[in-house]
Chain A
Amino acid sequence: MRLLVVEDDPKLGALLEQGLGEEGFTITWARDGERGLALALAQVFDVILLDYMLPGRSGHQLTVELRAAGRLTPILMLTARDAPDDLRRVLDAGVNEVMSKPFRFAELTDRLRALAGAPA
């Protein structure tokens, strides 16, 4: 399963790359929204793991532009914000699922597999 991780926090990004890699995902890690959008448009991924707050282009903006370009790659968004308005915005933009930080790694793995269409 090809997973694009868009996360600006270097420590969290490195942990996700390591942990999800050990779970069998093939990881491509982008450290900002600009790079993440470029990779998502240029390559094919089974699922995208996206942070809400990113430098430059936000996770919401990236989703809007990706969907506008006709890309339907499933997106799971990680966020430390849980305001109903924020969640509604990203779901309306085309995010498939939202998980709040802090999250259970096992649950994250299960959800990513489900979105990618792989057996749990």
Chain B
Amino acid sequence: MAVALLGIAVWAWLGVRNTMVAQLDQSVYSVFELERQSLAATGLITPAPDPSDPAQFVHQINRLVVVRDAAGRVVQVNHPLARELPLDTASARRALHGARVARTTAWRGRPARALLGRVPMQGGPAVLEVAASLRPLQAAARSVLLRMLLTAALGTLATFIGAYWLASSALAPVGQIARQAAAIHGTRTGQRITIHAGVAELAGLVQVLNDMLGRLERASEWHRRIIRDLGHDLRTPVATMRTGIEVALRGLRTPEQYRRVLADTMDEVDRLALLGEGLSLLGALESGTLRPEPRPTDLRLLVEQAVTRARTRAGERRVELRAPGGPLEASVDPRLLGIALEHLLDNAVRHTPGGTPIRVSLAAADRRLGLTVEDDGPGVAAEALPHLFDRFYRNDPARGRHSGAGLGLTTVAIIADLHHGRVSAGPGGRGGLRVTLDLPRA
């Protein structure tokens, strides 16, 4: 802004100065014409009045008139001071040839503006030169420049002050909002920003911040729940191990009883290890450490292998597979998809009563593949369905040892997403649960 004002001031000053010089030229021209007519009429130029102080000549008279002959000799002057005008031979020659020559010269070391022209004289053509000092003009121009620069400086200062005041006024409410946000404590729920919430220009900002606080609160609550649930899942098997060992040590036992305690302890160790592996896998998938490496895979074969393994764990449950005949090629990571299939089948086995079937179907349509695992178990309430793929979510809050760690379906969802597919859950046709994995083939 300051540079712009300065530029405008300088540009305006240049315009004013050029106008003043043009006006001086016009004035000099007028005097030139008057003297030329005087010479033509009387052969004499008009003498200038003698100022009381020669030093004031510039201010009181300021018109120097000199007539020179063709040889450059001074013939007439309007005042003796005019003799000090220097002769410019080239300009005089041009004037003798009929040109009107305007030039900047010097008189007593100070710049002057002069006009030369040819005038007829009795003795032959002569050169009439009229000069005026530029000093008054320069003084005036300096004064104008000074005023313009001062105006520009004051204008800049006023602009800065005004802008600062405007910015401060505009940002003061934002500062108050920031202070209220800083006072919000992480442990208390329901805290929101209330200041300036009704001001139209700031309502949007306040709403965005409050929405963010709401999301942070929910995420914080979710983390607390995860940690609480994880604590429970870790403590329960440890309690079982400890109690088993303590009871065994409180009396003399048979080798078979000790073996039983050791075997049960190993089961709990496996349970903890499974939890650890599930967490580790989930962490690797979510952080991107474990990335899918898709390659052409016969999905039919992959599903058959998973079903075969599930049948060994299913006990009295029948695991039925329905798939098209022949290979079903898809570009997937067989390792990750195998893990997803294990979790889907494991989940169905865990929640299905003995003697009931688990139906696995694989189908291809257009460029997509659909894998469905359906059971005839107790199913899931409609309000719980959206949460099935949340971490550590279990349909039964009692979280017994048979309900798993609550990570399996979460892992399936992540693997599906990594393959640009999706997984969904809904009620089965006979009251149980149906989980569908939908994947692109390529």
Interface residue A42 (Cβ < 8 Å from any Cβ of B): no
What mask results when residues 226 to 261 of chain B are scored 1 for a CB within 8 Å of chain A, else 0?
Answer: 001001100110111111101100110000000000
Minimum distance in angstroms from A99 CB to a CB of chain B: 10
CA distance A78 to B228 in the complex (A): 16
On whether the beta carbons of B235 and A101 are closer than 8 Å, the reply is: yes
- Interface SS of chain B: helix
Given A80-B231, A102-B242, A19 and B236 touching (CB < 8 A)? no
Interface residue A55 (Cβ < 8 Å from any Cβ of B): yes
List chain A residues, Cβ under 8 A from B267.
11
On whether the beta carbons of B400 and A11 are closer than 8 Å, the reply is: no
Minimum distance in angstroms from A105 CB to a CB of chain B: 4
On whether the beta carbons of A102 and B396 are closer than 8 Å, the reply is: no
On whether the beta carbons of A9 and B236 are closer than 8 Å, the reply is: yes
On whether the beta carbons of A105 and B243 are closer than 8 Å, the reply is: yes
Minimum distance in angstroms from B24 CB to a CB of chain A: 95
On whether the beta carbons of A81 and B228 are closer than 8 Å, the reply is: yes
List chain A residues, Cβ under 8 A from B228.
81, 83
Minimum distance in angstroms from B64 CB to a CB of chain A: 106
- CB-CB nearest in chain A for B236: A80
- CB-CB nearest in chain A for B265: A11
On whether the beta carbons of A11 and B247 are closer than 8 Å, the reply is: no
Candidates B232, B243, B396; contact of A81 at CB < 8 Å: B232
- Interface SS of chain A: loop
Interface residue A16 (Cβ < 8 Å from any Cβ of B): yes
- Count contacts on B: residues with CB < 8 A to the other chain: 25
- CB-CB nearest in chain B for A33: B398
B residues in contact (CB < 8 Å) with A = 228, 231-232, 235-236, 238-244, 246-247, 250-251, 264, 267-268, 396-401
On whether the beta carbons of A12 and B240 are closer than 8 Å, the reply is: yes
Minimum distance in angstroms from B245 CB to a CB of chain A: 9
- CB-CB nearest in chain B for A18: B247
Q: On chain A, which size bracket covers the interface?
A: 20 to 34
Minimum distance in angstroms from A15 CB to a CB of chain B: 5
On whether the beta carbons of A9 and B240 are closer than 8 Å, the reply is: yes
On whether the beta carbons of A102 and B235 are closer than 8 Å, the reply is: yes
Counting chain A CB atoms within 10 Å of each CB, the highest count among B236, B238, B264, B267 belongs to B236
A residues in contact (CB < 8 Å) with B = 8-12, 15-16, 18-19, 22, 53-56, 58, 78, 80-83, 100-106
Minimum distance in angstroms from B295 CB to a CB of chain A: 43
List chain B residues, Cβ under 8 A from A15.
240, 243-244, 247
Cβ contacts A to B, 26 pairs, < 8 Å: A8-B400, A9-B236, A11-B401, A15-B244, A18-B247, A19-B243, A19-B250, A22-B250, A22-B251, A53-B397, A55-B398, A58-B398, A80-B231, A81-B232, A82-B231, A101-B236, A101-B238, A102-B235, A102-B239, A103-B239, A103-B242, A103-B243, A105-B243, A105-B246, A105-B247, A105-B250
List chain B residues, Cβ under 8 A from A19.
243, 246-247, 250
Counting chain A CB atoms within 10 Å of each CB, the highest count among B231, B246, B250 belongs to B246
- CB-CB nearest in chain A for B229: A81
On whether the beta carbons of A16 and B231 are closer than 8 Å, the reply is: no
Counting chain B CB atoms within 10 Å of each CB, the highest count among A8, A22, A78, A80 belongs to A80
On whether the beta carbons of A80 and B240 are closer than 8 Å, the reply is: no
Candidates B235, B246, B250, B268; contact of A80 at CB < 8 Å: B235
Candidates B232, B235, B398, B401; contact of A54 at CB < 8 Å: B398
